[in-house]
Structure 1
């Protein structure tokens, strides 16, 4: 699934602790860990889910199965919160 993007009205900024997403419509902040921020960045750069899974597995020295579960889990949560579009 290529083309995962932050929804219009969601701003992203880096902090010393990772990344913060601001849902401007609802005035809510969401803090992403450095790992979650890297996943979002990879997806936004057009790697798609398979490419992002491979990048996560290589970056953190984990299996692609584990990386896939992590990427899919984060995507499901971001979708449920209405923060991303595909």
Structure 2
């Protein structure tokens, strides 16, 4: 998935996991919901999923790609 911040012209390329997080947020769900979904889908990575989701959401918020 590719996102374009029309205000800055900056592109964001999201992998399948990033796409899942973004779609969860767009559905009105919180980051913790995305963490739970991804931990079920990828149990061997469960220990680092929360950190990765938090980092992605923070970056998207900082760049104003998504709004709080």
TM-score, normalised via structure 2 length: 0.83
Match for residue 4 of structure 2 among 8, 22, 30:
22
Q: How many residues align?
A: 67
Higher helix proportion, which one? 2
Structure 2: state its 5+ residue gaps.
none
Is 1:35 equivalent to 2:17 in the alignment? Answer: yes
Cα root mean square deviation, aligned: 1.4
Alignment partner of 1:72 is 2:59: no
Instruction: State the Cα distance separating 1:28 from its structure 2 match.
Output: 2.1
Runs of 4+ in 1 over 2 A off after TM superposition: none
TM-score (norm 1): 0.68
Higher strand share: 1
Higher relative contact order (CA 8 A, sep 6+): 1
How much does 1:66 deviate? 1.7
1:74 Cα offset (Å)? 0.4
